[in-house]
Amino acid sequence: MFLFNITFNVETNIHPQWLKWMKANFVPAVMQTKLPYKSSLLKLLTEVENGGNTYSFQFFFKTMEDFLRFELTHKEPILDRHNMLFRGKVVQFSSLLEEIE
């Protein structure tokens, strides 16, 4: 199993509308690709002094091939839509993890 994690730090003043948009648009767009089999949303509770609200969106893939297909075909257009709407208000980074046990 492979876990694709995207962490977002969101400015407080846009936080409610951003979270609503993510749940209504971002997650469904990723899941509609039919490549991840599950998603999860977590809020960071041990916030560092960087302000804003931090969330982790996790998408689970059965195979590396599924993830690579998502990355090569779908990831950029989906993130581009997000970045057009929230540019300068959200900082993000992503990572890929592999389950070993």
Taking 70 as the threshold, does the pLDDT of residue 48 lie above it?
no
Write down the pLDDT at residue 13.
Answer: 92
pLDDT of residue 90: 94
Residue 49, pLDDT above cutoff 80: no
The rounded mean pLDDT for the chain is 94
Phi/psi for 45 (5° steps) reads: -100, -25
Global pTM value: 0.92
> Is the four-CA dihedral 58, 62, 68, 72 of positive or negative sign?
negative
How many domains does the chain contain in total? 1
Does residue 97 carry a pLDDT above 90? yes
Domain of 61, in residue numbers: 2-98
What CATH number does residue 6 fall under? 3.30.70.100
